[in-house]
Structure formats: C-alpha cells, structure tokens
C-alpha cells in the first residue's frame, strides 16, 4: 500500500488532478491558459455570399457594359463588352444599337455610322455571325470626334449612352466614361460585334479599348518616300 505522504502518492494525485481541473473548465475559461500559446482574438466567420448580392442576369440573357475610354487628337474611343450571363447560347450578327441623351435625358438626334469609316480607319470589318456560349463575351468599339467645323452650329454634348445588342432588343445604359462630345459632327460610329478571345480573362476593372488611328480614312497618310 502506498503511503499518502510518499512521493509516489503525490505524483499519482497530481496526474489525476490535472484532467479533472481541465474538464471543469468552460471553453471560455480554457482560452489563454499556459500551454495554449498567446491569447488570440476570436475569428469572425466568413460571411456567406448571398445569391441576392450577385448581379442578376437580365431577362435578355446578356449584360452590356463599357470597358473604359481613350482619346487621341480629338478622337474618342469607348469599349463595349457583352457577356452571355444566361444558360443558353446567344446569337449576334451585326452592330450595337446606340442612343445618346443629354443631361435632361432627352434623345440627341445624330447619325450612327456602322463601321466608323467616316470617322477613322481600322474598325470597318464587316459583321460576322457570333455564337456566345454561357459566360462567353463579345466586344465592340464606339467612336466619335470632338470636332467643330462650323461656329454657327451648336456643339453637341451627350451625357448618357444606351446600347442594345441588336435592333428590337432591350437596351442597357452604359457608362460613357465622360461626355459624348460630338462637336458639331452630328455622327457617332460603332464597330461590329466580335467574339472575345476566350483565353483573355475578364478584367476586374474596366480597361480602355485599343487606341484607334487618329487619321480619318478620308485623309491619306504622308508618303514615306518624301
């Protein structure tokens, strides 16, 4: 029999007492005890993403936005992006349908040039049939010049821009990335829809379109031999 005053008895008592003490602790009491390391702040659970917080897909099955603008020597270029956010293929074959509005949201009368050949060169590729699978994208470019050639004609400045995938389709308001300053040209151009390269990732922030040529198609470039 082991004496209560013997070293062996004291070791057994200590071994039994530690688990009993730990089992009596609540989870809150246990945090910060020696052996647990430094006290840690409780980590808030990651908020779950609500379906309602995600941008909804319009009934048309596509979402249109601008991808930023660029300007060079009075020439303006605004990128457009159409995303098939639906669950079935979406067909395109033609040009975006544009409407420009003033500060009072009154429509501005102007002429839309398909292909922009009267505005600049390099955007005159004819439209081709495009089929977008779900999550695939198509792009186009809106072009105009801030040009005043007649001081008797008031310059036009649009503030709002709407874009429809095709005639008769619902239009979406897009950010024109500044004023649609048409001068007194009375026209705006747009390139045909083309399928975006699937290997190109969707930008997390708007990126400007390719910078177009600042030389109108009606002006011949200088002869390099001179």
Calpha distance 141→96 (Å, rounded)? 9
Check whether 58 has a pLDDT greater than 70. Answer: yes
Calpha distance 56→6 (Å, rounded)? 76
pTM of the entire predicted model:
0.66
- Give per-residue pLDDT as tens, 103-117: 999 999 999 999 988
Calpha distance 147→213 (Å, rounded)? 16
Domains of the chain and CATH, by start: 58-195 (2.60.40)
Structure-token pair, residue 184: 């007194």
Kindly report which listed range (46-55, 78-87, 199-208) carries the lowest average pLDDT score. 46-55
Calpha distance 147→181 (Å, rounded)? 8
Share of the chain above pLDDT 90, in %: 50
- Give per-residue pLDDT as tens, 130-139: 999 999 999 9
Mean of pLDDT over the chain = 75
- Give per-residue pLDDT as tens, 153-172: 888 899 999 999 999 999 99
């Amino acid at each position: 029999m082991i004496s209560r005053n013997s070293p062996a008895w004291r070791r057994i008592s200590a071994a039994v007492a530690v688990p009993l003490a730990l089992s009596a602790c609540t989870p809150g009491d246990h945090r910060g005890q020696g052996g647990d390391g430094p006290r840690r702040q409780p980590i808030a659970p990651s908020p779950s993403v609500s379906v309602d917080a995600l941008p909804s897909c319009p009934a048309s099955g596509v979402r249109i936005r601008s991808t930023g603008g660029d300007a060079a020597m009075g020439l303006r270029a605004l990128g457009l992006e159409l995303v098939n956010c639906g669950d079935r293929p979406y067909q395109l074959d033609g040009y975006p349908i544009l409407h420009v509005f003033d500060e009072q949201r009154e429509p501005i009368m102007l002429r839309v040039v398909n292909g922009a050949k009267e505005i600049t060169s390099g955007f005159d590729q004819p439209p081709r049939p495009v089929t977008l699978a779900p999550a695939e994208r198509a792009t186009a470019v809106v072009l105009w010049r801030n040009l005043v050639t007649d001081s008797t004609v008031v310059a036009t400045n649009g503030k709002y821009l709407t874009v429809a995938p095709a005639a008769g389709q619902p239009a979406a308001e897009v950010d024109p990335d500044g004023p649609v300053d048409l001068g007194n040209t009375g026209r705006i151009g747009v390139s045909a829809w083309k399928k975006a390269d699937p290997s190109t990732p969707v930008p997390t922030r708007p990126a400007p379109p390719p910078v177009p040529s600042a030389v109108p198609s009606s002006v011949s470039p200088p002869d390099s031999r001179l």
